[in-house]
């Protein structure tokens, strides 16, 4: 089973949901060839590919996106930070003593 990458595979879970898609015969042939090259079934290949793409998309696009108001509030907080509360000052002092 050359070419199989276990680390990228989605963890095995009971499959109770169904996903259907209409594709062209050219697409099916392409997907089938890729699956064969990885030593997978077409279903396993499609599920692993979609899973990998979904994880990547969420990681890339799930980054913090701020509204204009949020962006202004964030910039304001950076430019004019509040004074630290006494507990934070005490923690910083303990850290300085511990680290030197």
pLDDT band at 10 (very low <50, low <70, confident <90, very high): low
Overall pTM > 0.85: no
Neighbours of 49 (CB within 10 A): 16
pLDDT band for position 45 (cuts 50, 70, 90):
very high
Condensed to tens digits (0 to 9), the pLDDT of residues 53-98 reads 999 999 888 777 888 999 999 999 999 999 999 999 999 999 999 9
The secondary structure element, H or E, covering residue 37 is helix 25-37
- Compute the distance between CA of residue 48 and CA of residue 99 in angstroms, rounded to an integer: 47
pLDDT of residue 11: 61
What is the average per-residue pLDDT within 39-48? 96
Residue corresponding to tokens 């062209």: 24
Helix (H) / strand (E) containing 86: helix 86-99
């Amino acid at each position: 089973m050359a070419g199989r990458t276990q680390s990228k595979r989605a963890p095995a879970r009971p499959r109770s949901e169904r996903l259907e898609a209409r594709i062209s015969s050219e697409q099916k042939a392409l997907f089938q060839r890729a699956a064969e090259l990885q030593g997978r079934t077409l279903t396993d290949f499609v599920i692993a590919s979609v899973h990998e793409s979904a994880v990547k998309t969420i990681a890339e696009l799930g980054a913090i996106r701020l509204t204009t108001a949020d962006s202004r509030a964030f910039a304001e907080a950076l430019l004019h930070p509040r004074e630290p509360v006494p507990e934070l000052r005490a923690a910083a002092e303990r850290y300085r003593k511990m680290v030197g």
